[in-house]
Amino acid sequence: MIPLVFAVGIIGGIWMGKYMFVSQRSIHEEKLRTILEMIDNEYVDEVDMDSVFEQLYPRLLELLDPHSAYIPASELQAVNEDLEGSFSGVGVSFQIMNDTVNIIEVVAGGPSEKVGLLPCDKILRADTVSLTGKGATNENVFKNLRGKKGSKVVLEILRSTSSKPLKFDIVRGDVPVHSVDAIYAMKDSTGYVRVSKFARTTADEFHNALLALRLQGVNRYIVDLRGNSGGYMDQAILMAREFLKEGDMIVYTKGKMPEYQSIAVADIDGPFKDTELVVLTDEYSASASEIFAGAIQDNDRGLIVGRRSFGKGLVQNQTVLPDSSAIRLTIARYFTPSGRSIQKEYKPGEMEDYELDITRRYKRGEFYSADSIKFDPAKTFTTRTGRTVYGGGGIMPDVFVAEDTVGITSYYIQVVNAGLIQKYAYKVASNYREVLKNAKTIGQLKKVLPRDNTLLDGFVEYAAANGVPARWFYIRKSQNLILTQLKAVIARDLLGYPAFIEMLNEGDAVVRKGFQLLIDGESPTVIYPADAVKAGAEKKSSVSKSNSPAGSAKASPGRK
179 versus 456: the higher-pLDDT residue is 456
Give dist(CA 439, CA 444) in Å, integer: 6
Q: What is the predicted pLDDT for the residue at 300? A: 96
Average pLDDT over residues 106-133: 86
Average pLDDT over residues 237-249: 97
**DSSP label of 407:** T
pLDDT at 7 over 70: no
Which helix (H) or strand (E) segment holds residue 282: the answer is none
pLDDT band at 106 (very low <50, low <70, confident <90, very high): confident
List phi, psi (to 5°) of 249: -75, 145
pLDDT at 9 over 50: no
pLDDT at 526 over 50: no
Give dist(CA 173, CA 146) in Å, integer: 9
pLDDT, tens digit (0-9, with 9 covering 90-100), for 22-53: 566 688 888 988 988 898 889 999 888 888 88
Q: What is the predicted pLDDT for the residue at 213? A: 98
123 near 157, Cβ under 8 Å?
A: yes
Q: What is the predicted pLDDT for the residue at 249? A: 97
Q: What is the predicted pLDDT for the residue at 437? A: 77
DSSP string computed for 26-40: HHHHHHHHHHHHHHH
DSSP string computed for 519-530: HTT-S--SPPPG
Contacts of 312 (CB under 8 A, 6+ apart): 67, 230, 286, 287, 290, 342, 343, 344, 557
Residues carrying an active site annotation: 287, 298, 312
Q: What is the predicted pLDDT for the residue at 525? A: 59
Judging by DSSP bridges, how do beta strands 129-130 and 122-126 pair with one another?
A: antiparallel
Contacts of 546 (CB under 8 A, 6+ apart): none
Q: What is the predicted pLDDT for the residue at 85? A: 57
Q: How many CA atoms lie within 13 A of 36 on its CB side?
A: 24
546 versus 385: the higher-pLDDT residue is 385
Q: What is the predicted pLDDT for the residue at 22? A: 52
Give dist(CA 439, CA 521) in Å, integer: 35
Report the Cα–Cα distance between both ends of the chain, in Å, rounded: 32
pLDDT at 543 over 50: no
pLDDT at 539 over 80: no
Q: What is the predicted pLDDT for the residue at 493? A: 85
pLDDT band at 418 (very low <50, low <70, confident <90, very high): confident
Average pLDDT over residues 443-465: 94
pLDDT, tens digit (0-9, with 9 covering 90-100), for 474-483: 999 999 999 9
Question: What average pLDDT does the structure give for the chain?
Answer: 85
**DSSP label of 140:** H
Give dist(CA 251, CA 239) in Å, integer: 12
pLDDT band at 11 (very low <50, low <70, confident <90, very high): very low
83 versus 145: the higher-pLDDT residue is 145
Q: What is the predicted pLDDT for the residue at 544? A: 31
Judging by DSSP bridges, how do beta strands 220-224 and 190-195 pair with one another?
A: parallel
Domain 180-249+267-310+342-404+527-551 -> CATH class: alpha beta
pLDDT band at 84 (very low <50, low <70, confident <90, very high): low
pLDDT at 264 over 60: yes
Which helix (H) or strand (E) segment holds residue 285: the answer is none
| Helical H segments across 158-279, by residue range | 202-215, 233-241
Q: What is the predicted pLDDT for the residue at 552? A: 26
Q: What is the predicted pLDDT for the residue at 108? A: 65
DSSP string computed for 183-207: EEE-STTEEEEEE--B-TTHHHHHH
pLDDT at 4 over 50: no
Lowest mean pLDDT among 150-154, 157-161, 361-365: 157-161
Q: Determine the number of helices (DSSP H) and then strands (DSSP E) in the chain.
A: 19, 21
Lowest mean pLDDT among 19-23, 46-50, 101-105, 157-161: 19-23
pLDDT at 530 over 60: no
Quote the percentage of the chain above a pLDDT of 70: 87
Q: Among residues 82, 108, 89, 107, which one has the least CA distance to residue 151?
A: 89
List phi, psi (to 5°) of 41: -95, -30
Give dist(CA 527, CA 240) in Å, integer: 13
Q: Among residues 488, 531, 527, which one has the least CA distance to residue 507?
A: 488
pLDDT band at 538 (very low <50, low <70, confident <90, very high): very low
119 near 103, Cβ under 8 Å?
A: yes
Question: pTM for the complete prediction?
Answer: 0.78
Beta strands in 12-63 (DSSP E): none
pLDDT at 142 over 80: yes
88 near 203, Cβ under 8 Å?
A: no
Q: What is the predicted pLDDT for the residue at 244? A: 97
pLDDT, tens digit (0-9, with 9 covering 90-100), for 165-213: 999 999 999 876 788 989 999 999 999 999 988 988 999 999 999 999 9
Contacts of 338 (CB under 8 A, 6+ apart): 298, 381, 382, 383, 384, 389
Q: What is the predicted pLDDT for the residue at 338? A: 96
Q: Among residues 430, 500, 421, which one has the least CA distance to residue 196?
A: 500
Give dist(CA 82, CA 262) in Å, integer: 26
77 versus 366: the higher-pLDDT residue is 366
**CA gyration radius, the chain:** 26
Arch. (CATH architecture) of 86-176: Roll (2.30)
Question: Degrees (nearest 5) of the Cα angle 423, 424, 430?
Answer: 95
pLDDT, tens digit (0-9, with 9 covering 90-100), for 308-348: 999 999 999 999 999 999 999 999 999 999 999 999 988 88
Give dist(CA 111, CA 89) in Å, integer: 8
Contacts of 174 (CB under 8 A, 6+ apart): 86, 87, 88, 149
Average pLDDT over residues 261-273: 96
Amino acid at 55: Q
Average pLDDT over residues 412-439: 87
